[in-house]
């Protein structure tokens, strides 16, 4: 530790990676680099929001994910306890922003979620400057994070059922659309990928805490970062695609790459390959199995 660049490592809960084992400049290089997945997901959402002229709420939500990734990267580079407090507050802020966006999905105005997210950021910064005990901040952030995640999953399920007429995970005692639009199925898939990545990340975190000594060489915390980054990506893309569909009263427009694994929102005005799938869906609804040659 004497050769380390950062000589004030005072974190209370050290993540599962050897400290300064690779370089003296970064305490945990794998965890540090994997945090950039969060930054990439947030920057991509901000770029799309500006490029496609989406609402300001998505710019703010993407920025919250960038702050979450940047604070996490700084913490894993230094292992400062104060940096850990910044990371925890950033995570809670991003989760709160997700709830604000989902709860106001059908709102005619864009101001409510933006104002709520900005005010919550100011409240979080005020709390950090009050000098509370780090254990209190950690405990409070975990309580709020679990609460926000539960509310967020409930709102996500409500959005999928209400606007896509499809179940998020399991079918309940409700009649769903037996001939769903292909675009709605892709939107449902985005929501499912978001939940699946988040649930897998939670499982990896539990295994990391329970078996850190055995799993340290496999970099479980870095894997946790990557899964959370994917979950944030799908959550941002789902929210933007659904909001544009509601505003334009058109099927959600998405574009999928990497063999249909990575989905992104595109403007509803831009034609895409989904038009072929939409035509096949219309023919299926009309009972036409094939078209005769002319």
- The predicted pLDDT at position 13 comes to 62
- For the segment 144-148, the average pLDDT, to the nearest whole number, is 89
Question: In the predicted model, is pLDDT for residue 283 greater than 80?
Answer: no
Q: State percent of the chain over pLDDT 70.
A: 74
* 225 vs 272, higher pLDDT: 225
Question: In the predicted model, is pLDDT for residue 147 greater than 80?
Answer: yes
Question: In the predicted model, is pLDDT for residue 273 greater than 50?
Answer: no
Q: Which of 283, 252, 256 is nearest to 184 (CA)?
A: 252
Which range is least confidently modeled, 38-42, 159-163, 174-178, 189-193?
A: 174-178
Cα–Cα dist 54/271, whole Å: 18
- The predicted pLDDT at position 286 comes to 59
Cα–Cα dist 39/149, whole Å: 20
- The predicted pLDDT at position 116 comes to 74
Q: Is 269 exposed, middle or buried (0-12, 13-18, 19+ CB in 10 A)?
A: exposed
* 164 vs 134, higher pLDDT: 164
Alpha carbon distances (Å) from 221 to 138, 205, 292: 18, 7, 57
- The predicted pLDDT at position 106 comes to 85
pLDDT, one tens digit per residue, over 54-107 is 888 898 889 999 999 999 999 888 888 788 888 888 898 889 889 888 988 888
pLDDT, one tens digit per residue, over 210-252 is 888 788 788 888 999 999 999 999 999 999 999 888 888 877 8
What residues does 263 pair with on adjacent strands? Answer: 256
- For the segment 265-287, the average pLDDT, to the nearest whole number, is 56
Question: In the predicted model, is pLDDT for residue 174 greater than 50?
Answer: yes
251 sits in the region (left: phi over 0; alpha: psi -120 to 50; else beta) called beta
pLDDT, one tens digit per residue, over 7-34 is 555 555 666 767 777 777 888 889 999 9
Question: In the predicted model, is pLDDT for residue 290 greater than 60?
Answer: no
Say what the pTM is. Answer: 0.81
| Maximum distance among all Cα pairs of the chain, rounded to whole angstroms | 81
- The predicted pLDDT at position 67 comes to 92
- The predicted pLDDT at position 2 comes to 45
Mean pLDDT in the chain?
80
DSSP class of residue 218? G
pLDDT, one tens digit per residue, over 187-204 is 888 999 999 999 999 999
152 pLDDT tier (thresholds 50, 70, 90) = very high
């Amino acid at each position: 530790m004497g050769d380390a660049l950062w000589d004030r490592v005072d974190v209370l809960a050290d993540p599962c990676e050897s400290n300064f084992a690779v370089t003296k400049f970064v305490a945990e290089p794998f965890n540090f680099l994997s945090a950039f997945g969060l930054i990439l997901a947030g920057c991509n959402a901000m770029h799309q929001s500006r490029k496609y002229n989406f609402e300001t709420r998505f710019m703010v939500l993407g920025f919250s994910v960038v702050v979450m990734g940047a604070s996490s990267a700084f913490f894993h580079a230094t292992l400062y306890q104060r940096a850990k407090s910044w990371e925890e507050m950033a995570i809670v802020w991003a989760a709160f922003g997700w709830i604000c966006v989902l709860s106001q999905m059908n709102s005619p105005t864009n101001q409510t979620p933006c104002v709520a997210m900005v005010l919550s950021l100011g409240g979080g910064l005020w709390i950090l400057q009050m000098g509370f005990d780090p254990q209190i901040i950690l405990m409070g952030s975990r309580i709020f994070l679990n609460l926000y995640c539960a509310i967020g999953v409930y709102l996500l399920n409500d959005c999928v059922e209400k606007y896509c007429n499809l179940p998020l995970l399991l079918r309940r005692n409700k009649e769903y659309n037996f001939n769903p639009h292909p675009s709605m199925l892709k939107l449902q898939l985005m929501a499912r990928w978001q939940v699946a990545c988040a649930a897998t990340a939670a499982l990896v975190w539990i295994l990391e805490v329970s078996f850190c000594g055995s799993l340290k060489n496999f970099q479980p915390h870095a894997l946790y970062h990557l899964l959370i980054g994917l979950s944030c990506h799908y959550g941002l893309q789902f929210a933007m695609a659904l909001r544009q569909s509601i505003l334009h009263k058109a099927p959600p427009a998405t574009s999928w790459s990497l063999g249909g694994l990575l989905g992104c929102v595109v403007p509803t005005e831009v034609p895409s390959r989904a038009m072929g799938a939409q035509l096949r869906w219309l023919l299926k609804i009309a009972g036409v199995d094939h078209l005769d040659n002319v």
